[in-house]
Amino acid sequence: MAAEETSATLRQRNAKAPMSQAEEDASPASNEEHIDSAGGLIQWRRHMEDVKAELLEQIQGQLSDLLEKVISESVQSYSQHSKPPANSNETEATSRKQRLSSEQGKVFLERRSLLDELFEIDHIRTIYHIFIAMLCVFIISTVAVDFIDQGRLVLEFDLLFYAFGRFSTAVFAWLCMCSYTLVVPYKALCLWGGHYHSVRFQGGFTFVVGSLVLACQACVLGVYPIYVVVRYKLPPASSFIVILEQIRFMMKSYSFIRENVPKIMKAKLNQGEAAKLPEFSSYLYFLFCPTLIYRDAYPRNPCIRWKYVALNFAQILGCLFYGYFILVRLCIPVFTNMSKEPFSTKTMVLTLFHATLPGTFVLLLCFFAFLHCWLNAFAEMLRFADRMFYKDWWNSTSFANYYRTWNVVVHDWLYSYAYKDFLWLCGGRFRGAAMLLVFITSAVVHEYVLTLCLGYFYPVMFCLFAICGGVFNFALNDKRKGAVWNVLMWTCLFIGQGIQMCLYCQEWYAQIHCPAKEKGFWEFITPRSWSCRL
């Protein structure tokens, strides 16, 4: 029996031996796989811990700001209720002013432009390709028509050469305005800030320096650009360069002074201590970075993508040619001889709706060329990280939201220095009046630009912007939601662009066919297209 048990045990051991040997052979591979998976889990865990820490830090900062705001509001409300009711109106106005003055202004963050993010989606990029294909169709049709009419290929681009005529004069005017803005506002602020706390009559000193700066601003940034445009009769594109840069320099210099003067006035200095003044490098960077709100520092990107810069400038050039072909193929053939035909309501209505397509094209081209390509190109060259120059205005269901999201750069300036300052002066009341003031100011500036650049006064833009836009802003407010309101917004936008394109083109050719016999105020403000019939 013992011998049989011993032999059975040996047989079992021999049967298990191959299996154990195979397991030993396979163990290194399994160990390596186990080590790799364990390392990946450790790395993933560390990544998630970093994300967790970052999220907690952001949430903690937001909660801290929210709690501070709640505490300040509760203290203000308590102080209002604890004071006698006789001075309740004065107290309420004072609290509103304190709230407006303590409210944090524009906050700059590192973020990309919305179209850059959307173009990473294939479906959205296909829409971009469709617009390029339409440009190719415009080019082919222009070449075909020239070949049929003249028997040869003609691509002269005479309209572009005319629009940018006297370009050297525009560049010289820009250099003068830039040099002035670079030196005078900064030196004036340093002079005033360096002596403000040491002079005896601070109010009189501030009035004298402010009056001198205001006079210089009026002469160099006010009268001089208008003189250049009118005296040398600059064509439209060159006029746009001078006038838009005039407005940009005025807005930037105002923001620089407006942001720094309160800091210097509120600074508490010890005996013999000098006021902290902004550095010239910060001011120089601000003059060329794509924002109108001054800060001592902005978020910056680590490097410059020169291919991205070249792509944006190439797209700007493409938009110029796009606009050229739109005018040549869709506008000039329609409006050239319109003054020679008898006026009829049917012709006017048909022409208006015919101008809707080119007007909308011009609107989209201006948006893409300037608000996206131009601003992103300079932001990339200056490593400016906050690229939110616009928001998703195309999704707007109200004109109030459209005006806020179409041009964020200008909206921030108007909100900070027109809307909020007006509310501060009024004690936080009359918000409707403040909004109306912003609308009228923006409409006047738009009409001022078009009047000087086109060479005639025809307040179509002002009427559509200030009157119709103001009514739509209050009527179609943010309470309107849904796809129907977005369709209504786009319909009104199409019709408005058609009206502008139609009336401005008619007036342009009426000025050519029926020039003014006398130069006077009434001749200038009376539209020539109302009476020009050949």
For residue 458, give every residue at least 6 positions away whose Cβ sits within 8 Å of its Cβ, in sequence order, or none: 451, 503, 504, 507, 527, 529
> Is the separation of the CB atoms in 113 and 387 below 8 Å?
yes
Beta bridge mates, 384:
300
Tracing tokens 């309501």 back to the chain, one arrives at: 345
| Catalytic site includes residue 197 | no
* Cα three-residue angle 97-102-108, rounded to 5 degrees: 135
Q: Write down the catalytic residue from 197, 354, 446, 513.
A: 446
Torsion of Cα atoms, 156 then 160 then 166 then 172, to 10°: -130
**DSSP annotation of 166:** T
Q: Hey, what amino acid is at 56?
A: L
> Is the separation of the CB atoms in 454 and 504 below 8 Å?
yes
- Cα-flanking dihedrals φ and ψ of residue 384, to 5°? -75, 120
> Is the separation of the CB atoms in 501 and 358 below 8 Å?
yes
> Is the separation of the CB atoms in 287 and 182 below 8 Å?
yes
CA 513/CA 529 separation, integer angstroms: 10
Measuring CA to CA, which residue among 530, 452, 466, 464 is closest to residue 499?
464
Token pair for 401: 């939201």
Q: What SS3 class is residue 490?
A: helix
Which residues are the active-site residues? Answer: 446
